[in-house]
Amino acid sequence: MTAPLRADPATVKVALGDRSYDIVIGRGLMASLGARIATLRPGANAAIVTDESVARYHLAGAEAALADSGVASSRIIVPVGEASKSFRMFEQVCEAIIAARIERGDLVVALGGGVIGDLAGFAASAVRRGLDYVQVPTTLLAQVDSSVGGKTAINSAHGKNLIGAFHQPILVLADTAALDTLPTREFRAGYAEVAKYALLGDAAFFSWLEANCRDVFTGGNSCGSFAREHAIAVSCRAKAAIVARDERETGERALLNLGHTFGHALEAACGFSDRLLHGEAVAAGIALAFAFSARRQLLSTAEAERAIRHLAEVGLPTGPKGIPGGLPSVDRLMDLIAQDKKVKRGMPIFILVRGIGAAFVETGVGHDEVRAFLSEKLAEK
């Protein structure tokens, strides 16, 4: 982790036997997309799935990179936002992939944030019983989280991500220059997942983030700082290692849900709207997980406060009181926690911490204990 920052693209392997693939991370990598695809799948055609915003900034670059290496491509552009993870859009994307004559041996390129990765990845898993796909993540959240690990999904009327498949990409290409066009608020929300990896399993990385987060946010390499690339590579390495050991979340992969039980309840209470982005909800959820763990005397209050302080310093919310608009009632939050899919036989699963970098899965948390804790947090001014 404390290895010197490197200038050349970093490669992180996701080791899953014959479904292994590389995550390549570096500034300006988009130009190499066509050559990499032509090497992996000679002669393949590609359908690029993207959203209207990403298309404006990055579609031409992706198409040119493919054309330069003789990869014929077609484009499928969907509206921006979570609403595109719907049955309707799934159908449209599948039909468009078929209409573009993408066959077995060809591939789908998911160019965008987590919405596009989830939608295009799920379409790739279904069309012709499974097409190869490449993730080209363009948000920080997608570069460190959603593009890695093969979870794909759309939303159901009953909840988020309830219809989907495990379908691993054949390559993840994370061009960190793509993040230059990302709104700061989206970047900051993605940073919550970076902090999550540090806080769940890598105390040294957390110290590094405390010292270098400003450079991660600025990102430019002009003064020789590769802090952004380093943070993304360390995050991907953490996720890749966990996914390689527990691809289908039967155990350890649940640790990646640090902050997500409380976070999802807050996100749902805000109607999955712009009021609270996913990463913002996760930051609030992580802070609550640390505070709850300290309340259980699993770690000192000072250590919990150190974790929470870092999230606050980069401008992320650290509990319900940081959320704009009216706060949900404790009853509503408890209902939402009970409905969360991370529930095993009626007991919600919480990821708690014994310290910074020491998360664990806890299934023995009682409803009354959570209710009392959340009531206190909601009452904080």
Active-site positions?
Answer: 129, 151, 193, 239, 249, 253, 257, 260, 264, 278
Burial class (CB in 10 A: 0-12, 13-18, 19+), 193: buried
Pairing of strands 107-112, 132-137: parallel
Question: Binders of Zn ion among 280-299, rule CB under 5 A?
Answer: 282
Q: Which is nearer to ligand NAD, 231 or 370 (CB)?
A: 231
Decide: 188 and 315 in contact? Cβ < 8 Å: yes
Decide: 232 and 176 in contact? Cβ < 8 Å: yes
| Contact track, Zn ion, 232-271, x by CB under 5 A | ----------------------------------------
R_g over Cα of the chain: 20
Q: Which amino acid is at 20?
A: S
Q: Tell me if 96 contacts ligand NAD by CB under 6 A.
A: no
Per CB under 6 A, the list member of 116, 154, 298, 374 interacting with ligand NAD is: 116
Q: Shortest approach of ligand NAD to residue 329 CB, angstroms?
A: 25
113: partner contacted, choices Zn ion, ligand NAD, none (Cβ within 5-8 A by kind): ligand NAD
- Cα torsion at 194, 198, 200, 204 (round to 10°)? 170
Evaluate the CA torsion angle 306, 311, 315, 317 in order and state its sign. negative
Q: What contacts 225, CB < 8 A, 6 or more positions away? A: 5, 215, 218
Element (H, E) at 36: helix 33-40
Q: Shortest approach of Zn ion to residue 6 CB, angstroms?
A: 27
Per CB under 6 A, the list member of 85, 228, 230, 237 interacting with ligand NAD is: 85
Pairing of strands 46-51, 107-112: parallel
Q: Which is nearer to ligand NAD, 166 or 360 (CB)?
A: 166
Q: Where are the beta strands (DSSP E) in the chain?
A: 10-14, 21-26, 46-51, 73-78, 107-112, 132-137, 151-156, 159-166, 171-175, 343-344, 347-348, 350-353, 359-362
Q: Shortest approach of ligand NAD to residue 117 CB, angstroms?
A: 6
Question: What is the rounded distance in angstroms from the CA atom of residue 322 to the CA atom of residue 327?
Answer: 10
Number of residue whose CB is nearest ligand NAD: 114
Q: Which is nearer to Zn ion, 216 or 282 (CB)?
A: 282
Q: Shortest approach of ligand NAD to residue 378 CB, angstroms?
A: 25
Question: What is the rounded distance in angstroms from the CA atom of residue 227 to the CA atom of residue 330?
Answer: 40
Q: Which is nearer to ligand NAD, 207 or 339 (CB)?
A: 339
Question: What is the rounded distance in angstroms from the CA atom of residue 57 to the CA atom of residue 73?
Answer: 17
Q: Which is nearer to ligand NAD, 178 or 291 (CB)?
A: 178
Question: Binders of ligand NAD among 351-370, rule CB under 6 A?
Answer: none
Q: Shortest approach of ligand NAD to residue 379 CB, angstroms?
A: 30
Q: Which is nearer to Zn ion, 9 or 285 (CB)?
A: 285
80: partner contacted, choices Zn ion, ligand NAD, none (Cβ within 5-8 A by kind): ligand NAD
Output the six-digit token pair for 211.
């010292």
Q: Tell me if 50 contacts ligand NAD by CB under 6 A.
A: no
Q: Which is nearer to ligand NAD, 68 or 186 (CB)?
A: 186
Question: Binders of ligand NAD among 123-182, rule CB under 6 A?
Answer: 138-139, 141-142, 145-146, 149, 151, 160-161, 178, 181-182
Residue numbers of the site for Zn ion (CB under 5 A)? 282
Residues that bind ligand NAD (CB under 6 A): 51, 53-54, 57, 80-82, 85, 112-116, 118, 138-139, 141-142, 145-146, 149, 151, 160-161, 178, 181-182, 186, 278
